[in-house]
Amino acid sequence: AQSVTQLGSHVSVSEGALVLLRCNYSSSVPPYLFWYVQYPNQGLQLLLKYTTGATLVKGINGFEAEFKKSETSFHLTKPSAHMSDAAEYFCAVSDRSGGSNYKLTFGKGTLLTVNP
């Protein structure tokens, strides 16, 4: 079964600093990869996704992520943190084998706090 590991349940950065949220997956074949964000008292919304093609994926709100097959990683970055980025971030994976394409496995989440 595939799994997703998010390193660091809580990341704290200063406003204007680089944001780096780590995600590693285990899958025997290249998977589909996603980052979702959850703001307080809301459901999750998609930030970005990787399916095929370019390994550097740009998403909403200035976030981007790079798929590195050799490292089985899909880390999320943003050059300069803003106070409004404070939220919980979830990495998710769905591999391409069999009939399970439409079911996502989520990581445990990383809570990002942004300090003024």
Partner 1 sequence: DVKVTQSSRYLVKRTGEKVFLECVQDMDHENMFWYRQDPGLGLRLIYFSYDVKMKEKGDIPEGYSVSREKKERFSLILESASTNQTSMYLCASSLRWTVPEKLFFGSGTQLSVL
Chain residues that interact with partner 1, rule: CB under 8 A:
9, 32, 34, 36, 41-46, 49, 51, 90, 94, 101-109
Residue 53 CB coordination number (10 Å): 7
Residues pairing with 110 in the sheet: 89
Q: Given the complex with partner 1, which of 64 and 88 has the nearer CB atom?
A: 88
The nearer residue to partner 1, 13 or 44, going by C-beta atoms, is: 44
CA dihedral 23, 4, 67, 56 (to 10 degrees): -60
For the chain, what's the residue count?
116
Q: Are 67 and 33 in contact (CB under 8 A)?
A: yes
Q: Minimal distance in Å, beta carbon 81 to partner 1?
A: 22
> Shortest distance, CB of residue 90 to partner 1, whole angstroms?
6
Work out how close the CB of 18 gets to partner 1 at its nearest, in angstroms, rounded to a whole number: 24
